[in-house]
Amino acid sequence: MRFVVNFKWIVPSVVGVVGSLLVSTSAAYAGTLQNWRFDSNQNRLVLVTDEGVQPRAQLIADPTRLVIDLPGIQLGQSTLRQSVSGAVREVRVGQFDASTTRIVVELSPGYTLNPEQIVIRGATPTEWSIQLPTPQLSQNPTQPPSNPRPSPTPSENTPPGSSGVAQIQDIQTVTDGFFIRTTGGTPRVSLDRNRDRDELRIDLRDARLASNLDDRTLQVNSSGVESIELNQRRRDRARITLNLEDEDINWVASVAPNGITLIRNRLSGDRVVTSRTPVATTPPSTQPPTQPSPPTRPPTQPPTQTQVTQVESVELDRSGQRLLIRTNQPFRYRTERDRSTGAFNIIIPSARLADSIPDPQLDRNSPLRRVRLRQETDQSVVIQVEPAANVQIGEANLVSQQLLALELQRQNTPSRPNPPSAGGLPEVRSGLTVVLDPGHGGYDPGAVGRGGLEEEDVVLDVGLKVAQILEQQGVRVVMTRQGDTDIDLEPRVQIAENSNANIFVSIHANSISLSRPEVNGIETFYASPEGARLGRVIHDSMIQFSGFNDRGLKSARFYVIRNTSMPAVLLEIGFVTGAHDAPLLADSDWRSQMSVAIARGILQYLSQNY
C-alpha cells in the first residue's frame, strides 16, 4: 500500500497533524516492534511489527523532527538510537506510553523537510516504509549550538548525575572519532583490544549509562567503526565496544570533565590521556594528544587456576549433535535465549578465553549457523550460538566438572503429501499474460526468520520456478524482479498495467516473533471479487499440496493488489519464523514442489476464465 502524508507546512513551534492512515480492513491488534532500520543513503525508514498497525505521523519544528506513533505496539525494551551523519542527525525509537511506540527522525540544525513529499507505504499491515524527501536548508538556518545535544528521547528518564559517578549521556560523531558526553564525575578509562583486533573495548569505571543507552548497539559506519555496543556491566562500571572495520588503526582516548574523545591515532598503541585542567563545554579537539601517558591495560598475568576458569576449547562432537565446551577446572555457568534473534548464550563468570583457542569449524551441513566467542568482561566469557534453520537448541548439561555439552536437535522434515506432478497440468489458450511479483528485494530483505532465512530469497526462487512452469505451458510471464533488486510498489503495479496482464500474483512469506515458533501456515489476500475467485483456486492448490495450516483467504488493501486493474492476489506461502514452515521454506526441493502447486492453481483459473 502507498499513502502520501498530507501535512500542512510547518512553521516554528507549530505541529502538523497527519490525517488518518488506512492500513487494512482489520483493526490493529496489540503487538511488538520486531525490527527497524534507517537507510541513510535513501532517506528511508523501514519497520516491521508482528501485528497489523495504523501509523500516525506529525512533523515538529525547531529542531525539525518527524514523529511516527505506532498505536497498539510495544517496544519491549529501552529506547534505541541510531546516529546518522549529514542532514539527518539521529533516529530514536522509544515507548511513548503503555500502548504506543514512538519513532523520532531528527534532522540536523538548519535543515527541514517538505511535508507534502513524505510518503508512507505499507507492503503488508506489518511491514511499512517511510520515505523522506531530501532535507533542505531552511531559508534562515540557525547556527548549530556550540555543544550540540540530541533533543529528549521519548520516555527517556536519565537519572541525575551523582557525586563521583559519571553519567554517560550520548555519543556524537566528530572528525576522526567520537565524543562521549558525560555529566557528573570523571570516569576512569581503560582501552583493550580482543585477540582478532576487530573490537576496541573501552571500560569506564565510576560510570553509569543513561537508561536509553544500556544494552544498545548503535550503527555508525564512521571513522572505520561499523557499530558501537554499550553495556552496564556493574552498577558503577560501563563498557563501550567499537566494532572496527580497520583493525590496523590505533586509538587514543582523551578524558576531560565533560566527556571522553576517542580519536583514530596515527601513533602506535591504544592509549588514554587524562585532562587535569578545566576544559570548554564543547567537545575536545579532535587532534591526537602530543604527550600521551602510558597505555592503561588490564592485568596481563594469567589468573591462578583456583581463581579464574580458562575456557580451553569450544567444538562440535563427531556426531554433530552436541557443542562441547571444555575448561581447565570446575566452573559455573548460566544460559539465556535471545528471542529477537533466536541465538542462545552461555555465560561463564570468572573465566577467560585461552590465548590459542580456535573458533569452531562449521560447514554448510553444520547444525549451527555461527558460534561467537567473546571475552565479555575481564572475567566473563560469553559463547553465543546461532542454530541452522532446521535445528533446535536443547539443554546445556555438565558432562563432567570441566565439560559442558549443549544439545542440538535436528528437526525432522515435516511429513507432506506426495509432490504434485508438473505433468497433466490444465491446458490454457495461447496469448495469456501473467505477472509474477516476488516481494521485497535489494535493500529490503523482507522478513528474516529462523537461522537467518530471508523472505526475499525464498519468494524469488519460488517466483522464478513458477514462471518456468507457466512458460512451458505457453503462458507469457512478466516478472517484476528477476534478481536481488530494489523495486518500489508503484513500479510493480505499472509493470502489470503496461503488460496488459490477465492476472497479477504477488508472492510473499510471512513472519511473526521468533518467540512464537508455533505460528505457521498459508494465507492468501485479495482486494476485489475477481481477486477472491483467483485467490480461492491458488490457495486451495497450495493447501492441498503442502498440508500446511490453512490460515484462510482474506480481504486486504495491499497496494499492489488494490491498484491493479486485473484480478490480483498476494500469497503468504508460510512463516519463515515457524518451527514447522521454516525448514521447508529453506529446502530448495520443497520450494520447487510448492511452485508446481502455485502454477497449477494459476493454470486452473486461466483455463476456467479465459
Each residue's pLDDT tens digit, 330-349: 888 888 876 556 678 899 98
Closest to 448 (Cα-Cα) out of 304, 341, 591, 307: 341
The reported pLDDT for the residue numbered 469 is: 94
Asked if pLDDT for residue 467 goes beyond 90, the answer is: yes
Residue 136 clears pLDDT 50, i.e. is over it:
yes
Among 502, 501, 462, which Cα is nearest to 482's?
A: 462
pLDDT at position 285 is 40
Instruction: Provide CB contacts within 8 A for 532, sequence distance 6+.
Output: 526, 553, 555
Has residue 275 got a pLDDT over 50? no
Q: How far, in Å, CA of 421 to CA of 349, rounded? A: 57
In three-state secondary structure terms, 255 is strand
The model's confidence at residue 412, banded by pLDDT at 50, 70 and 90, is low
CA–CA distance, 478 with 133 (Å, rounded to integer): 31
Q: Is the separation of the CB atoms in 104 and 65 below 8 Å?
A: yes
Domains belonging to the chain, first-starting first, are 2-137 (2.60.40), 166-274 (2.60.40.3500), 309-410 (2.60.40.3500), 433-609 (3.40.630.40)
Q: What is the total residue count of the chain? A: 610
The answer to which of 62-76, 276-290, 381-395, 521-535 has the lowest mean pLDDT is 276-290
Say if residue 84's pLDDT is above 50: yes
pLDDT top residue among 81 and 149: 81
| Per-residue model confidence (pLDDT) at position 98 | 67
Rounded Cα distance, 57 and 68, in Å: 4
The yes-or-no verdict on residue 302 having pLDDT over 50 is no
Examine the residue annotation and report whether 336 is marked as an active-site residue of this protein.
no
3-state secondary structure at position 201? strand
- In sequence order, the 6+-apart residues with CB closer than 8 A to the CB of 40 are 84, 85, 86, 88
Q: Could you count the other beta carbons within 10 Å of the beta carbon of residue 136?
A: 14
Q: Answer for the pair 88, 106: CB distance below 8 angstroms, yes or no.
A: yes
What integer is the mean pLDDT of 320-337? 87
Q: Tell me the mean pLDDT in the region 518-541.
A: 94
Q: Report CA dihedral (529, 511, 452, 571) to the nearest 10 degrees.
A: -10
DSSP class of residue 589? H
Q: What is the CA radius of gyration of the chain?
A: 27
Query: Could you give the percent of the chain with pLDDT greater than 90?
Result: 23
More confident of the two residues 460 and 123: 460
Q: What is the pLDDT, as a whole number, of residue 62?
A: 63
Instruction: Find cell 505451458 and name the residue.
Output: 473
Residue 507: per-residue pLDDT: 97
Cis preceding-peptide flag for 63 (omega within 30 of 0): yes
Q: For position 573, what pLDDT does the model report?
A: 96
Q: pTM for the full model?
A: 0.41
Residues 6+ apart with CB under 8 A from 155: 79, 94, 95, 96, 102
Encoded amino acid at 45, one letter: L
| pLDDT interval class at 206 (50, 70, 90) | confident
Q: Residues 305, 311, 316, 322: is their CA dihedral positive or negative?
A: positive
Instruction: Give a three-class secondary structure readout of 305-341.
Output: CCCCEEEEEEEECCCCCEEEEEECCCCCCEEEEECCC
**Please, what's the largest Cα pairwise distance for the chain?**
86
- The pLDDT assigned to 129 comes to 85
- Per-residue model confidence (pLDDT) at position 464: 94
In whole angstroms, what is the distance from residue 123 CA to residue 562 CA?
11
The lowest-confidence range among 67-76, 294-303, 353-362 is: 294-303
State percent of the chain over pLDDT 70.
79
Decide which of 140 and 601 is more confident. 601
Given a contact cutoff of 8 angstroms between Cβ atoms, the answer to whether 10 and 59 are in contact is yes
All 3 cell numbers of residue 11? Answer: 512553521
- The band of 18, judged by pLDDT with boundaries at 50, 70 and 90, is very low
Please check the confidence at residue 122 and state whether its pLDDT lies above 70.
Answer: yes
Burial class (CB in 10 A: 0-12, 13-18, 19+), 234: exposed
For residue 603, the model assigns a pLDDT of 96
DSSP code of 115? G
Total Cβ atoms within 10 A of residue 532:
18
pLDDT band for position 15 (50/70/90)?
A: very low
**8 Å CB contact between 53 and 94:** no
Q: Is 121 helix (H, G, I), strand (E, B) or coil?
A: strand
In the predicted model, is pLDDT for residue 476 greater than 90?
yes
Residue 566's closest CA among 460, 471, 433, 467? 433
Amino acid 279: pLDDT: 33
pLDDT tens digits, 482-516: 988 878 889 999 999 999 999 999 999 998 877 78
489-498 burial: b if 16+ Cβ within 10 Å, else e: beebbebbee
Lowest mean pLDDT among 181-185, 538-542, 578-582: 181-185
Q: Can you read off the three cell numbers belonging to residue 285?
A: 579537539
The cell numbers describing 338, all together, are 535471545
CA quadruple 210, 214, 220, 221: dihedral, nearest 10:
150
